[in-house]
A and B are shown apart, each in its own frame.
Chain A
């Protein structure tokens, strides 16, 4: 080979380690998917192929209920966090670099760094006070909490997109008689759109599988899919959970593939 540069892939044992890592990463997921097709009631003993768990899960009133709640919360949280993230990204990329810039980034990405359990307890305290004061018990708390920790997931792809955008384009739009709003509508927004959709999908997926904050914030009877599954597994082990997880996995893979395709495309 003409290429004589150093490459990790030519170190001895590289492929062995790589295969090992992939097995550790994906074997459990593979097991989960396989056992969702188990004919028996066990999630450890294979008793022949069957599709029984999928209709069973679907016909379970409770599963439908928590799935709808999860999707509602995830959709609302994804929309809210992406809107906030878009504004934050515009604010942080569309002005001169100032001293506080790094601090602002840290503030926006705070949910990525603060242990989730801390946020969960903090939200519990605040929301408890509000619940007492207003008497409101609805889904709003969960939506707000999810929106908050989803912001950095929506912010990062949008910011990456905006940073790659030539600011002269906005100047040019203004030069060509576009008002600031028209400039945003006809130039900035279309160009940032792939980043915004990517952010929307990441936020959706992040909200969908949250357990810790949801457990702390939810009122009675507000189980989401993950907290419901957790409760199920604690009570009795059923392959129904495998079926639900597999469906969630499929949804996530679809969304993340979309994310990948959108962020890969360059303009």
Chain B
């Protein structure tokens, strides 16, 4: 079965500058984004995620490669000829227009009749719950309200694809959490394909259907949030998405011998020689000293975070492992520095990753 593809990049490349100053912002990236999905481009600044977004929006043209929208080549179409709208990081609301005029701008430029525009604006105002603010100017609104106007403005022309360029980064934490749910709701209600750019892994995990992790102009891994979190392909992805313990070891008879001398069961994926193991802190279990089949460790530090307690443990050779324990489960007293304990990894927790 094939699902419809909303946007496809074929070996999209973007170089800035020329000669010795040339910088490759995007290095032959190919990706297919399914229609109606919430797709996130995730990576640190300078990874090329915004460049890819700008290629799809038409603000830049690729140095090589193609951009397809619904199977149609739009690589060299100007932005105003693409049924794609953008929510900008700075919102970019027109300061001389009211909220209603901002939202209606796209349809007005498309030459739609006034009555149709008014109806669409009303619908959008209701969708983002700003009915009472239609006549206000953007600068009379709070940051969260401006954000919603920007969303409504981009959604009003009912684009095939909505691009969101780190739209939540200017909001405070509480509002950001609220808007994350709001965005997900809007995406589900409208059924429009959302392409969301962020450097915030939590944002990516909570909202996305699929995530592409990017680094240095390349996509390292594409997958559902759970897949990326539980089976990171390499050390960068594992480290960027959530906290991870990295352990060095050598493959030995279908298991892995750590530098501490302990043997850990893990799928070796046909590898041999030196490998890196990744283990999530919440998948480390602690029990009393001398538990058979466990790794002996010493408590180096224990930090209380409210719901969690982060326990820093040391193996025999000094390798540090962080375990995240639920405070309720770890008991009132918790663990003290210097305590001898046993630790083991949950089944399937230890993953071999590329360096």
Contact = CB atoms under 8 A, between A and B. Distances in A.
A191 interface: yes
A57 interface: no
A241 to B, nearest CB: 44
A190 interface: yes
A169 B92 CA distance: 5
Interface residues of B, number: 24
A191 B79 contact: no
B225 interface: no
Given A168-B90, A172-B88, A178 B80 contact: yes
B288 interface: no
Nearest to A168: B92
A174 B79 contact: yes
Interface of A: 166, 168-169, 171-179, 182, 186-187, 190-191, 267
Contacts, number: 63
Interface of B: 57-59, 78-80, 84-86, 88, 90, 92, 94-96, 105-106, 108-110, 139, 153-154, 157
B109 A267 contact: no
Among all A-B residue pairs, the 6 with the closest Cβ atoms: A176-B106, A172-B92, A168-B92, A177-B109, A267-B95, A174-B79
Contacts of A169: 92, 94-95
Contact of B86 (A175, A178, A186, A267): A175
Nearest to A169: B92
A74 B168 CA distance: 51
A94 to B, nearest CB: 15
Contact of A267 (B59, B92, B106, B139): B139
B350 to A, nearest CB: 46
Contact of B105 (A168, A173, A267): A173
A266 B96 CA distance: 11
A27 to B, nearest CB: 43
Given A171-B59, A177-B109, A190 B90 contact: no
A169 B106 CA distance: 13
Contacts of B139: 267
B90 A166 contact: yes
Contacts of A191: 94-96
Contacts of A187: 94
A169 B90 CA distance: 10
B58 to A, nearest CB: 8
A251 B84 CA distance: 51
Given A176-B85, A176-B105, A177-B106, A171 B157 contact: no
A179 B88 contact: no
A182 to B, nearest CB: 6
Most buried by B among A169, A173, A174, A191: A174
Nearest to A172: B92
Contact of B153 (A166, A174, A176): A176
B157 A177 contact: yes
Most buried by B among A186, A190, A191: A186
